[in-house]
Amino acid sequence: MSQFADFYQLIAKSPLSHWLNTLPAQLSEWEHTSLHGKFTQWFNAMEKLPTLTSARLDLLHGVSADSHPPLPVGQQSGIESLLRQLMPWCKGPFSLHGVTIDTEWRSDWKWERVVLHIAPLAGRLILDVGCGNGYHLWRMVGAGAQLAVGIDPMQVFYCQFTAVRKLLGGDLRAHLLPLGIEQLPELAAFDTVFSMGVLYHRRSPLDHLLQLKNQLVSGGELVLETLVIEGDQNQVLVPGERYAQMRNVYFIPSPAALIGWLEKCGFVNVRQVDMSVTNTDEQRRTTWMTSESLADFLHPDDPRLTIEGHPAPLRAVIVAEKP
């Protein structure tokens, strides 16, 4: 039986029911083609984790779960070593039955910058595009979402998400589907769509904005978080081969230029609600992500620049509505 059967059941009678025309074929293709190489190792580690019931579950202030009485130390270290087989852990942190996953990013800080400025999530149907391992999906559930669906094509993130889901208790209102945004039909069904940390990875940013709009109900809200540069409505950085060592960064607009793109795509009530410099407390190497991190990507003589000499990472949150 498909790993996604419970999701199909869940959406059968929801505004997402027409997704069932395309989704099962895409996911069964994914299930048939992905079980090889590293994915098999990740999948096996994830499968070995127990499904636990939590005596205390907190998705409002963080992502944490505890057992009562606490799990025996031996079981905690067994869980930790399975979770470490799913490294690198970029997004978090998580505190799961005595195991703290100290991730590369303080994704909770991003969430705090975002959640203050958006329509309350209680009762909403939510899509998180490029959700990584789903850290923010849990925070959406904590904020009262009816259902939070994340999409991300990276296999390891699917395994990390499922591992966390098992340790939180299994049956929650967050689901991660291993898909790219380009695989989604125009669902026009979500009350809120998040795209955080994705736009600069898209070769065609206006098409990305239109794809996001096509997922929203009329009156729905887009929450867009992305790298920006300082400048006026005519300024957009198109880095050369790399930006902060990443090869897949294409367009970094000024907030004013980005607002112009959103209005050109037909969004209304477009506003910038936050801007912040990413620092090396928010993104850093840890024992759960041991390769290079932000400190290695900044210019050794001037932290206002990347190692290539571009402006260092500055991120904005923009909120907009579909009319």
> Is residue 158 marked as binding?
no
Phi/psi of residue 257, each to 5°?
-65, -40
> Is residue 315 marked as binding?
yes
In the complex, minimum distance from the CB of residue 154 to ligand GEK, in angstroms, rounded to a whole number = 4
Gyration radius (Cα) of the chain, Å: 20
Q: Which two tokens stand for residue 72?
A: 């025996």
Asked if 104 contacts 289 with a C-beta cutoff of 8 angstroms, the reply is yes
Asked if 321 contacts 269 with a C-beta cutoff of 8 angstroms, the reply is yes
Q: Which two tokens stand for residue 67?
A: 């057992």
* Strand, coil or helix: 223: strand
Between strands 252-253 and 174-177, the pairing is unpaired
| Beta carbon nearer to ligand GEK, 91 or 124 | 91
| Beta carbon nearer to ligand GEK, 169 or 180 | 180
Q: Footprint of ligand GEK on this chain (CB under 6 A)?
A: 91, 107, 110, 129-132, 151-154, 157, 180-182, 196-198, 201
| Beta carbon nearer to ligand GEK, 129 or 319 | 129
Length of the chain: 323
In the complex, minimum distance from the CB of residue 36 to ligand GEK, in angstroms, rounded to a whole number = 19
Q: Which two tokens stand for residue 159?
A: 């395994």
Count each helix (H run) and each strand (E run) in the chain, helices first: 10, 15
Q: Which two tokens stand for residue 194?
A: 């998040």
| Beta carbon nearer to ligand GEK, 267 or 297 | 297
In the complex, minimum distance from the CB of residue 105 to ligand GEK, in angstroms, rounded to a whole number = 6
Alpha helices in 67-174 (DSSP H): 73-84, 107-115, 135-142, 155-168
In the complex, minimum distance from the CB of residue 180 to ligand GEK, in angstroms, rounded to a whole number = 3
> Is residue 8 marked as binding?
no
Alpha carbons 72 and 69: distance in angstroms, whole number: 9
| Beta carbon nearer to ligand GEK, 110 or 322 | 110
> Is residue 200 marked as binding?
yes
Q: Which two tokens stand for residue 169?
A: 């208790």
In the complex, minimum distance from the CB of residue 131 to ligand GEK, in angstroms, rounded to a whole number = 5
CA 132 to chain centre: 4
In the complex, minimum distance from the CB of residue 104 to ligand GEK, in angstroms, rounded to a whole number = 9
| Beta carbon nearer to ligand GEK, 67 or 93 | 93
Mark the binding-site residues, compressed into ranges: 91, 105, 110, 130, 181-182, 196, 200, 315
Mark the binding-site residues for carboxy-S-adenosyl-L-methionine, compressed into ranges: 91, 105, 110, 130, 181-182, 196, 200, 315
